[in-house]
Structure 1
Amino acid sequence: MLALRQEILVVEQQSPYSDLDFADQTASHLLAKIGADFVAYARCTWPSEETAFASFGRVVVSKQYRGTGLGKELVQRSLARLGEESCDIVIGAQLYLENFYSHFGFVRDGEPYDDVGVPHLRMRLRHEYARRI
């Protein structure tokens, strides 16, 4: 799981950031495997003392499985898992994926920002809508 995240988020996207943020210990991890290989991943987190919202992130799909619908399924499963909470879902989406996430009901929640050299955008899905997904 960590190797797949590093391969895509750090190496492929040339974004040297600290992936080990200690959120993994309390997160829920969605993994897709084909044979012995992990091919897709997403991490879900719940509200805490620091945040009043749920979130998911670190969404990755191996190159050879992109365009197969696997990313869409990961987002749907993440929303289904997090939709049980009575709160909004807030994500930090890569800017070029704004339209992808808007198909799930996410809307802009602020201005674009730089995250270790990669343009991002905070997006929010209201609780009322998340429960219907």
Structure 2
Amino acid sequence: MIKIEVKSFNELTTKELYDVLQLRSEVFVVEQDCVYQDLDGNDEKAFHILGIKNNRIIAYTRIFKPGDYFTDASIGRVAVAKNERRYSYGMDIMKASIKAIHTHFKETTIKVSAQTYLREFYKKFGFKAIGDTYLEDNIPHIAMIKK
């Protein structure tokens, strides 16, 4: 079981921010062998969904209100520590992220830019693929919308 916390950028402690950036780097840069600019200037606009287990952030997303990233509300940077994935914490952090969008933004339409191999994962939450696949940081992605 993980504890979920939702925080604005300014509510994050320095340690939490460090742990979030470390997890994102582990998953998106090291594990996926993808050199890209993770610090994109958007974290300050986002709410950060933290999945905490044994005082460690092991799951994470960031959410945006409509217009701050995409036209619709959105979820991004979905990450779960590799050694914690077998516990379905990805499901927990996504459910919490969808709920946070409803709570904080009063929105039901949500967009994700999904890595194509995770299409079925996002379908479990009601997301539907729209458009063609595209490369983002040399990784195949597809836009998906939940209404």
Q: TM-score range by the shorter chain?
A: 0.7 to 0.9
Give yes or no for the alignment of 1:4 onto 2:26: no
Aligned match for 2:74, one of 50, 55, 62: 55
Contact 2:111 2:146 in 1 (8 A): yes
Is structure 2 residue 113 aligned with structure 1 residue 92? yes
How far the C-alpha of 1:59 sits from its partner, in A, is: 0.7
CA drift at 1:52: 2.6
Partner of 1:129: none
2:130 is aligned with 1:109: yes
- Select between 12-21 and 82-91 the one with higher mean Cα deviation: 82-91
Going by fraction, where is strand more abundant, 1 or 2? 2
Take 1:14 and 1:63, find their aligned partners in 2: how far apart are those partners?
Answer: 14
Kindly report the root-mean-square deviation, in angstroms, between the aligned alpha carbons of the 2 structures: 1.5
1:38 corresponds to? 57
Q: What is the distance in 2 between the residues matched to 1:68 and 1:50?
A: 30
Identical-residue share of aligned pairs (%): 36
Three-state SS of the structure 2 residue aligned to 1:20 is coil
**Equivalent residues of 2:64, 2:73 under 8 A apart:** yes
Bigger Cα displacement from structure 2, 18-27 vs 81-90: 81-90
In the superposition, relative to structure 1, how do residues 53 and 87 fare at CA in structure 2: closer, same or farther (>3 Å)?
farther
Residues 2-39 of structure 1 show CA distances to partners (whole Å, capped at 9, x for unaligned) of 01101110111011111111111011101122234221
2:141 aligned partner, one-letter code = H
- Check 1:50–1:43 CA distance in 2 against 1; reply closer, same or farther (3 A cut): closer
Structure 1 residue 68 displacement after superposition: 0.6
Provide the C-alpha distance between the structure 1 equivalents of 2:70 and 2:135, rounded to a whole number of angstroms: 21
CA distance in structure 2 between the aligned counterparts of 1:51 and 1:95, rounded to whole angstroms:
19
Structure 1 residue 60: Cα displacement: 0.6
Give the deviation of 1:90 after TM superposition. 0.7
More helix by share: 2
The alignment covers a number of residue pairs equal to 126
5+ long unaligned stretches in structure 1: 127-133
1:72 aligns to 2:88 (yes or no): no
When normalised by structure 1's length, the TM-score is 0.88
